[in-house]
């Protein structure tokens, strides 16, 4: 193996605070938008968020990457409200970076897995970004001194594709000029991570340690519940 690609969420990092961040987005939006519509209530803003979230989820289920620009536009359209362009930009930036205020936590063994893999292989990251773009995810990695270990990135908001699209994986392979047969992907989702990698000829490792209800049955080449098992697997696959 010449390359290993990691999934971000539930493989390297766990998200424990999305509910808090969601409420922060609503409160911040209400504060900003009420300046331009004084009779606007928080309940109205929350209802507009629900409309925007449904649109976001519909895009997600169709494996199409969405953006916070679209999300904010849907909120404004629902509220029949226009605000200055610079204010809209600041609102988008807040939505995209609130992850830094309530950051995800490292999965046990994640740092060691990345560092060990870097000794013998190139490393890529494939991430369906959700509400926060690749720029914010890079800042999270940098905070934990992991950013420099990665040689290539595939963030859905930058590529326009969500896993299991082959484009998510081929972005890394093309950047590093490595063929699928010399690569392995590790992630927690059977349909997106494992199926996506296997369909283009990569090997795949399913990590189930972040989800106690995960089904171990898989088309993956291996299933692990502890990232400390990864070095041994890499040596076997090499």
202 and 148 in a common domain: yes
Domain end residue (candidates: 100, 125, 140): 100
Domain end residue (candidates: 100, 122, 138): 100
132 and 71 in a common domain: no
Distances (CA, A) of 19 to 83, 125, 217: 26, 25, 31
121 and 91 in a common domain: no
**How many other CB atoms sit within 10 Å of the CB of residue 102?**
14
pLDDT at res. 110: 97
- For the chain, give percent helix, strand, coil, nearest 5: 50, 15, 35
**Strands 152-155, 183-187: pairing kind:** unpaired
| CA–CA dist 169, 202 (Å, integer) | 9
**How many other CB atoms sit within 10 Å of the CB of residue 45?**
24
User: What residue numbers bound the domain in which 211 lies?
Assistant: 3-15+104-237
Q: Could you tell me the end-to-end alpha-carbon distance of the chain, in angstroms, rounded to an integer?
A: 5
pLDDT at res. 116: 93
69 and 167 in a common domain: no
Convert the pLDDT of each residue in 80-128 to its tens digit: 999 999 999 999 999 999 999 999 999 999 999 999 999 989 999 999 9
Domain end residue (candidates: 78, 100, 122): 100
Question: Residue 228 gets which letter from DSSP?
Answer: G
Domain count, the chain: 2
Spans of the chain, pLDDT less than 50: none
pLDDT at res. 212: 72
> Is the C-alpha dihedral spanning 144, 104, 217, 3 positive or negative?
negative
């Amino acid at each position: 193996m010449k390359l290993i690609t990691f999934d971000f969420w539930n493989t390297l990092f766990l998200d424990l605070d999305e509910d808090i961040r969601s409420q922060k987005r609503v409160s911040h939006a209400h504060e900003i938008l009420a300046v331009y519509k004084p009779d606007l209530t928080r309940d109205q803003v929350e209802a507009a968020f629900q409309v925007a979230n449904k649109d976001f989820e519909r895009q997600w289920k169709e494996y199409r990457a969405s953006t916070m620009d679209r999300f904010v536009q849907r909120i404004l359209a629902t509220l029949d409200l226009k605000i200055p362009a610079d204010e809209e930009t600041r609102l988008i930036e807040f939505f995209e970076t609130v992850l830094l205020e309530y950051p995800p936590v490292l999965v046990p063994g994640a740092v060691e897995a990345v560092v060990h893999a870097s000794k013998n292989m190139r490393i890529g990251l494939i991430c369906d970004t959700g509400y926060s773009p690749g720029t914010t995810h890079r800042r999270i990695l940098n905070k934990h001194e992991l950013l420099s270990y990665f040689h290539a990135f595939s963030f859905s908001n930058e590529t326009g594709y969500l896993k299991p699209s082959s484009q998510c994986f081929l972005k890394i392979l093309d950047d590093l000029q490595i063929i699928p047969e010399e690569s392995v992907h590790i992630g927690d989702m059977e349909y997106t991570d494992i199926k996506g990698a296997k369909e283009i000829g990569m090997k795949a490792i399913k990590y189930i340690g972040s989800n106690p209800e995960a089904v171990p049955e898989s088309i993956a080449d291996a299933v692990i519940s502890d990232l400390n098992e990864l070095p041994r697997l890499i040596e076997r696959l090499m």
